[in-house]
């Protein structure tokens, strides 16, 4: 992995991580309510696992950013719904609905987008500061 | 160190500490969703005092070489959370954003002072 050097690494990689989170939310929401005939093939919600990535020169700089370490499926069972007329229904007339909690996903989406915005804000603020510093003494 | 360097040294140091603090605060905000991350910060007052006291070594004789000490390392400390969260993360967005905007403002102020000094020097050099 590339070294964490400056503010663009810190905020850029954090934004990439939040983007992964937003993508998983999008897939989860897209699959919410999808039904299948058996339990194994039913969709289960995915969540990214965030991990702090410290700079190699941590002792000197003390900066860190965040990386997605893994994407896991949530340990939640698909809901068994009685729908005897559904073409996918099993012998007993049940189908399995994707294990996605829409409310949870909406909250997750809002939080991820807010944190993405925070990072954008930081980059634009510090970029302005850098421009002013470059123009020092003029 | 040269006279002009000395004249600008304090503000350049302050600017360096402020810029480092900006990076540390940005790291905190980048990690606001990471479980078990502990927010850190730089105590500016302490660091600038440490720099003023410990600064570069003085030369007491004209054959001594001026020693360039390695730049002082800022000491990072952990933030005490006001409302600790269940996942062990101590980044509080409101606190971090306030500290960040204050630090940015103070950075700009320091830059302004530095600019003032440089402008003063320039007009002295030009003699207009």
Query: B20-31, pLDDT tens digit by residue?
Result: 999 999 999 999
Comparing alpha-carbon positions, the chain B residue that sits nearest to A17 is: B30
Local confidence band at B72 (pLDDT 50, 70, 90 cut-offs): low
Q: Which of residues 87-106 of A touch B (CB under 8 A)?
A: none
Interface check for A40 against chain B (CB to CB < 8 A): the answer is: no
Do residue A137 and residue B118 have CB atoms under 8 angstroms apart?
yes
- Min CA distance, B20 vs chain A (Å)? 8
Comparing alpha-carbon positions, the chain B residue that sits nearest to A66 is: B31
Q: What is the pLDDT of residue A137?
A: 80
CA distances from B52 to A39, B7, B34, B70, B71 (A): 69, 13, 37, 15, 13
Q: What is the pLDDT of residue A96?
A: 93
Using 50 as the pLDDT threshold, list the residues of chain A that sit under it. none
Local confidence band at B7 (pLDDT 50, 70, 90 cut-offs): confident
* 3-state secondary structure string across A89-134: CCCCCEEEECECCHHHHHHHHHHHHHHHHHHHHHHHHHHHHHHHHH
Q: Which of B26, B40, B119 sits opposite A10 (nearest CB)?
A: B26
On chain B, the residues whose CB falls within 8 A of the CB of A115 are 29, 32-33
Do residue A61 and residue B20 have CB atoms under 8 angstroms apart?
yes
Interface check for A137 against chain B (CB to CB < 8 A): the answer is: yes
- For A46, phi then psi, to 5°, come to -110, 145
Say which range, A126-135, B34-43, B68-77, B111-120, has the weakest mean pLDDT.
B68-77
Q: Which of A60, A115, A122 sits opposite B100 (nearest CB)?
A: A122
Q: What is the pLDDT of residue A105?
A: 95
CA distance B68 to A54: 29
Length of chain A, in residues: 138
Query: B83-124, pLDDT tens digit by residue?
Result: 888 999 999 999 999 999 999 999 999 999 999 999 999 999
Nearest to A52 by CA among A88, A81, A13, A110: A13
Average pLDDT, chain B: 86
Interface check for A126 against chain B (CB to CB < 8 A): the answer is: yes
Interface check for A65 against chain B (CB to CB < 8 A): the answer is: yes
């Amino acid at each position: 992995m590339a070294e964490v050097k400056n503010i663009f690494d810190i905020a850029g990689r954090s934004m990439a991580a939040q983007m992964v989170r937003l993508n998983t939310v999008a897939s989860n929401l897209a699959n919410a309510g999808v039904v299948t005939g058996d339990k194994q093939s039913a969709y289960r919600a995915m969540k990214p696992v965030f991990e702090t990535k410290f700079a190699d020169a941590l002792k000197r700089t003390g900066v860190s950013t965040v990386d997605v370490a893994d994407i896991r499926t949530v340990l939640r069972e698909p809901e068994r719904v009685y729908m005897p007329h559904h073409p996918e229904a099993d012998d007993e007339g049940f189908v399995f609905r994707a294990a996605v909690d829409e409310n949870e996903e909406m909250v997750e989406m809002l939080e991820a987008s807010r944190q993405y915005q925070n990072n954008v804000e930081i980059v634009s603020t510090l970029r302005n500061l850098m421009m002013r510093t470059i123009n020092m003494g003029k | 160190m040269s006279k002009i360097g000395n004249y600008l040294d304090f503000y350049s140091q302050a600017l360096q500490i402020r810029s480092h603090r900006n990076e540390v605060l940005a790291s905190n905000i980048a990690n606001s969703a990471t479980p078990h991350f502990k927010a850190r910060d730089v105590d500016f007052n302490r660091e600038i005092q440490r720099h003023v006291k410990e600064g570069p070594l003085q030369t007491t004789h004209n054959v001594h070489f001026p020693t360039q000490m390695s730049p002082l390392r800022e000491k990072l400390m952990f933030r005490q959370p006001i409302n600790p969260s269940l996942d062990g993360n101590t980044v509080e967005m409101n606190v971090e954003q306030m500290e960040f905007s204050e630090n940015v403002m103070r950075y700009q102020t320091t830059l302004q002072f530095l600019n003032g000094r440089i402008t003063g020097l320039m007009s002295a050099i030009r003699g207009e």
